[in-house]
Structure 1
Amino acid sequence: MHERIKLDHAESLFYQHGFHAVGIKKVVSQANVSIMTLYNHFGSKEKLIVKILDQREIRYLDYLKSYLNDEAKRSKYKTARTIALAHMNWLKGNSNGCLFLRAKEEYGQINQDITNRVDTHKRSMLSFYKRLGFSEQEAMRLAIQIEGATALAETIEVQRVEEELVETLRLLFSK
């Protein structure tokens, strides 16, 4: 549980301010732990970031799954719509874009472990969509819409992006 608290504090700081803008001293201060404790658990700031991304993926997938019920699985459109609405609801509480892409932007050229973790997450999302019954091509189309909505929601009002996302998914998946 102690490790979880440190991860939550660090994730929040990195999400709000960026990875490079937040130093380890700030992380340990906010988590109320010593630098040695942090390094004993994680080894480095970069390994801490990978663990944070691991935790975030689990939390995000659990969040999406919590919206899926039998009604949501009755058609590809309903499933895509449910996932999209859950994602947009997630964005309303996490309005700073995709933490994974932010990590890759800041560390892409300097840390392969972080880059690999981000790439794995994006592939995991495609696999998740395929497990819901979407073909490879449909999973890619859904991912493109979700990713695009995430980016657009940083500059356009989230509710408007949500409405257009749902309409686009209706056009893609209603037959």
Structure 2
Amino acid sequence: MLKAQIAQRLEAAFSQYGFAEASVSQLKTACDVSLRTLYKHYPSKELMIVAALNHRHQRYLTFLSAPSVNKGEARILAIFERLNDWMSEFAPHGCMSLSALAAFPENEEIKTAVAKHKDDVRILLGEQAMRPDLATALFILHEGVSSVWPIMGYSSIESVNGVIKQIMEQSKNA
């Protein structure tokens, strides 16, 4: 239980301080544990980042899965509305996974955590659309919105909604 609480607090701390700037001392304080306890559960800053990313990954998938709309086009549109809500509330500066990767581009554990997160989101989008063949296209739209949302805000969602409708309609007629 303590390990999960630490991961939750690490996520919040990295979200607040960033990855390169956060010191282990700041992380210890944010987690409200001793340095010994922090290192017992996560023996390096990189493993602390992986824990934060994995915690966020689970929260994000749960968050995206919340719309009560049936699967298909309406579900995907609802998921992109949820993406807007996520960006507004939890990621106003952009994707935390990509920020971690940018800060530690050579770290294999971080690369693996980010790759798993991105692949799981891609698969989720294909499943929710009931169109696994469109998973990659929908994922690229998702990533595009995540990247530009800090600059464009909700207008990025509005733009992508039209593209989603076109893709779904064209693929029906193909």
**TM-score, length-normalised on structure 1?**
0.88
Output one character per residue of 1:10-48: Cα deviation in whole Å (capped at 9) or x when no partner: 212212221110011001112221110100111111111
Aligned to 2:126: 130
Letter aligned with residue 18 of structure 1: G
Q: What is the alpha-carbon distance in structure 2 between the residues aligned to residue 5 and residue 120 of structure 1?
A: 22
Gapped runs of 5+ residues in structure 1? none
SS in 1 for 2:22: coil
Aligned to 1:57: 57
Q: What is the alpha-carbon distance in structure 1 between the residues aligned to residue 85 and residue 98 of structure 2?
A: 19
Identity %, equivalent residues? 25
For 1:116-155, what aligned pairs fall within 5 Å after superposition? 116-132=112-128, 133-136=130-133, 138-155=134-151
Aligned to 2:99: 102
Output one character per residue of 1:94-118: Cα deviation in whole Å (capped at 9) or x when no partner: 2121111111111112x11111111
Q: What is the alpha-carbon distance in structure 1 between the residues aligned to residue 54 and residue 32 of structure 2?
A: 22
Letter aligned with residue 172 of structure 1: I
Query: Quick check: 2:11–2:55 contact (8 Å CA) kept in 1?
Result: no
Query: How far apart are residue 123 of structure 1 and its match?
Result: 1.2
Q: What is the alpha-carbon distance in structure 2 between the residues aligned to residue 134 and residue 107 of structure 1?
A: 34
SS in 2 for 1:20: coil
Establish whether residue 93 from structure 1 lines up as the match of residue 89 from structure 2: yes
Output one character per residue of 1:63-95: Cα deviation in whole Å (capped at 9) or x when no partner: 11111x3x432xx32122011111111111021
Gapped runs of 5+ residues in structure 2? none
Aligned to 2:154: 159
Aligned to 1:72: 70
Aligned to 1:83: 79
Count of paired positions: 168
Establish whether residue 170 from structure 1 lines up as the match of residue 168 from structure 2: no
Query: Quick check: 2:10–2:51 contact (8 Å CA) kept in 1?
Result: no
Letter aligned with residue 164 of structure 2: L
Query: How far apart are residue 127 of structure 1 and its match?
Result: 1.9
Query: How far apart are residue 8 of structure 1 and its match?
Result: 2.5
Query: Quick check: 2:24–2:45 contact (8 Å CA) kept in 1?
Result: yes
